[in-house]
Structure 1
């Protein structure tokens, strides 16, 4: 079971890398007002959702403690990220506020995952 959990952790990290990487590649465009949500951001967020749900299930099946409050907050942040990216994915440009919100919520999600013990 540990190998399977580690595989899903790796896939979860790949998802966050895709979401954050997509955001960082658009930072210069955000300054110019031409930023847009690229497909990598949507795919990364969806990967995070699927692997995160799988990780919770696998950890509970393995009788490991799961902090449901932490997971609930991370899920809520991810749902907001997904909603913003999904709704605005076809727009040629995204306003700076929405784009910065996705970046901030992504960073918050990373810090919650790593700092909250």
Structure 2
């Protein structure tokens, strides 16, 4: 079971990297008002959602403690991120505030995962 959990943790990190990497590579474009949500950002967020749900299930099945409040907050943040990215994924340019919000919420989600023990 540990190998399976570690596999999905790795996939979860790949999803985070895709979402955050998509944001970071467009920071200059955001400053110029021409940033857009690319497919890697959407796919990264969806990967985070699926692998996160699988990780909760695997940890529960392995009789490990799952902090449901932490998971609930992370899920709420991810749903907001997904909504922003999904709704505006076909737009030529995205509002700076919406784009910055996705980056900030992604970083908050990372810090919650790492610092909340």
Q: Give the Cα separation in 2 of the matches to 1:12 and 1:87.
A: 23
Unpaired runs of 5+ residues, structure 2, are none
User: How far apart are residue 105 of structure 1 and its match?
Assistant: 0.2
**1:104 equivalent in alignment to 2:104:** yes
TM-score, normalising length from structure 1?
1.00
Listed one character per residue, the Cα deviations across residues 63-97 of structure 1 (whole Å, up to 9, x for unaligned) are 00000000000000000000000000000000000
Whole-Å separation in 2 of the counterparts to 1:108 and 1:47: 17
Q: Which residue of 1 aligns with 2:19?
A: 19
Aligned-pair Cα RMSD in Å: 0.2
Quote how far apart the aligned CAs of 1:8 are: 0.1
> What are the ranges of 5 or more consecutive residues in structure 1 without an aligned counterpart?
none
SS at match of 2:63: coil
Report the counterpart of residue 64 of structure 1 in structure 2.
Answer: 64
Alpha-carbon separation, structure 1, partners of 2:31 and 2:72: 33
How many residues are aligned here?
Answer: 117
Q: Deviations over 1:36-84 (max 9, x none)?
A: 0010000000000000000000000000000000000000000000000
Equivalence map 1:1-117=2 (5 Å): 1-117=1-117
Q: Deviations over 1:15-46 (max 9, x none)?
A: 00000000001100000000000100000000
